[in-house]
Amino acid sequence: MKKIFVVLAILFIGILLAGCTSQPPAPVATPTPTPVPTTVVTTVPPTPVPTTAVVVVNTTAPPTPTPTPTPQPTVTITFNSQMTITPGTTVYVHVGDKVVWKNNDYATGFQHGIISSSFGSMESILPGKTFNVTFSKVGNFDYTTAGQPQLAGQIIVIK
């Protein structure tokens, strides 16, 4: 038993020596931060919403434009100092046209005139002045010049 005792004593000393050695202390475990779970938000692009076209119907009628009077054509018959008429003694016009007789006889200062039973007129026209008739119906209208009976003319009115 002595042997057992000796073995036990050696063992005991060995254990003691093993605990008393100067070894560096074992590293202390540093706590590793636990990752905080992050929430990942995935944005889904918005679903396109079909657009509807809005059609606005104007229920108000556009304003009726004010009719512009159509300018009436004018034919001018001119007396001159050569005792002639320009453009001539027979003139063609349309219904609604105006015929103007103008005295351009400044040289002699002669007073010319128009005599017509067709459109009921006897007019004396001083130099520089005019006389006019607007023809409202189809027909042939005869006239003569006062002071110059040799100059007979006709206004022929067509549609």
E-strand stretches of the chain: 74-79, 85-86, 90-94, 98-103, 112-116, 121-125, 130-134, 139-146, 148-158
What kind of fold does domain 74-158 have according to CATH? Immunoglobulin-like (2.60.40)
Percent of the chain with pLDDT over 70: 72
What pLDDT was estimated at residue 13? 79
pLDDT band at 52 (very low <50, low <70, confident <90, very high): confident
What pLDDT was estimated at residue 122? 80
For range 44-59, the mean pLDDT: 70
For range 35-48, the mean pLDDT: 69
The pLDDT tens digits for 90-138 are: 899 999 999 999 998 887 778 888 888 887 778 888 999 999 999 999 9
List phi, psi (to 5°) of 39: -90, 120
Q: Do 59 and 125 meet the contact criterion of CB atoms below 8 Å apart?
A: no
pLDDT at 49 over 90: no
Half-sphere exposure of 38 (CA within 13 A, CB side): 4
pLDDT, the chain, mean: 78
Eight-state DSSP code of residue 58: -
Give the pairing of strands 112-116 and 139-146: antiparallel
What pLDDT was estimated at residue 25? 61
Half-sphere exposure of 29 (CA within 13 A, CB side): 3
